[in-house]
């Protein structure tokens, strides 16, 4: 078992993935971490997987590349999490929106038993927004946050459910994602619903955020799929996954 597994979900990220792999390699070495990097490729057609493998060899980082059919970010993160072996496991979006050094806070919290799940948050009081997203994206994100908090009972104190920077106690994370059924962008919310039911402690840490103008979330195009996932979750009153989620032995008495 490794100390840390980092999953990078990708879709047509050939131009970025080399920098991501290099940054992960530098982080593992600087922190003397026995780690693994998992690039979970959601059916890219631009040579992303090959570019990731070449970067892994160049920077001598333990690397797995999962070549998956194009089903969505949720599916890519889930498959990456289930392929992980780390005592701590989590995912970061491609493009270095969050510097690797920022995740050390969350990792240490999990290692020390302070929490079971650590999220980066752009809304944390100590976070620094280096480059904000455009106005349309910020408005949509704010609306989504308000609706999600009301409809899905997001645990109190969580301010940024959709940030692409989340880490888990390894076994807890693998259990949660095994029970998650969402293939799309609502997987973050479904995992939080599962985590609340399991009694996991969730905390947020500050980040230095640089918005990526080359995001793979196309708001207008994605709205029908997001709405369908949300409706399915609301109608069922349960997470979208079919598997029963257990209370994890390392979980706390309630969400943080």
More confident residue, 256 or 175: 175
Cβ 163 vs Cβ 212: under 8 Å: no
Q: Beginning with the edge strand found earlier in the chain, give each strand of the sheet holding 63-68 in spatial order.
A: 63-68, 35-42, 4-10, 88-92, 165-169, 117-121, 202-206
| Sign (positive or negative) of CA dihedral 12, 15, 16, 18 | positive
Locate 91 and state its tokens: 């995912």
- Partnered with residue 2 across adjacent β-strands are none
Rounded to the nearest 10 degrees, the angle between the axes of helix 219-236 and helix 187-198 is 30
Compute the distance between CA of residue 80 and CA of residue 6 in angstroms, rounded to an integer: 9
| pTM for the whole structure | 0.84
Compute the distance between CA of residue 52 and CA of residue 135 in angstroms, rounded to an integer: 32
Average pLDDT across the chain, whole number: 85
Give me the domains of the chain, ranges plus CATH numbers: 4-236 (3.90.550.10)
Residue 135: other Cβ atoms inside 10 A: 8
pLDDT tens digits, one per residue of 34-51: 999 999 999 999 999 999
pLDDT at 182: 86
What average pLDDT score do residues 180-196 get? 87
More confident residue, 247 or 256: 247
Helix (H) or strand (E) run with residue 63 in it: strand 63-68
pLDDT tens digits, one per residue of 99-114: 999 999 999 999 999 9
Q: Which residues contact 217 (CB under 8 A, 6 or more apart)?
A: 185
DSSP 3-state percent helix, strand, coil across the chain (nearest 5): 40, 20, 40
CA 187 to chain centre: 9
């Amino acid at each position: 078992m490794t100390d840390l597994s980092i999953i990078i979900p990708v879709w047509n990220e050939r131009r970025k993935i080399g920098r991501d792999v290099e940054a992960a390699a530098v982080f593992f070495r600087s922190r003397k971490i026995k780690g693994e990097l998992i690039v979970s490729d959601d059916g890219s057609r631009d040579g992303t997987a090959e570019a990731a493998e070449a970067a892994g060899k160049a920077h001598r980082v333990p690397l797995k590349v999962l070549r998956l059919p194009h089903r969505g970010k949720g599916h890519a993160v889930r498959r990456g999490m289930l392929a992980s072996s780390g005592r701590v496991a989590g995912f970061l979006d491609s493009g270095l929106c969050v510097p690797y050094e920022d995740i050390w806070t969350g990792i240490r919290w999990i290692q020390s038993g302070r929490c079971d799940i650590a999220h980066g948050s752009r809304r944390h009081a100590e976070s620094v927004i280096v480059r904000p997203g455009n106005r349309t994206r910020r408005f949509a994100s704010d609306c989504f946050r308000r609706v999600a908090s009301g409809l899905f009972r997001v645990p109190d104190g969580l301010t940024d459910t959709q940030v692409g920077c989340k880490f888990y106690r390894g076994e807890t994370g693998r259990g949660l994602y095994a029970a998650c059924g969402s293939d799309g962008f609502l997987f973050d919310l479904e995992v939080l619903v599962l985590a609340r039911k399991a009694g996991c402690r969730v905390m947020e840490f500050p980040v230095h955020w640089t918005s990526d103008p080359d995001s793979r979330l196309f708001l207008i195009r994605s709205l029908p799929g997001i709405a369908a996932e949300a409706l399915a979750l609301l109608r069922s009153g349960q997470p979208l996954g079919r598997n029963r989620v257990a209370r994890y032995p390392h979980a706390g008495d309630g969400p943080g």
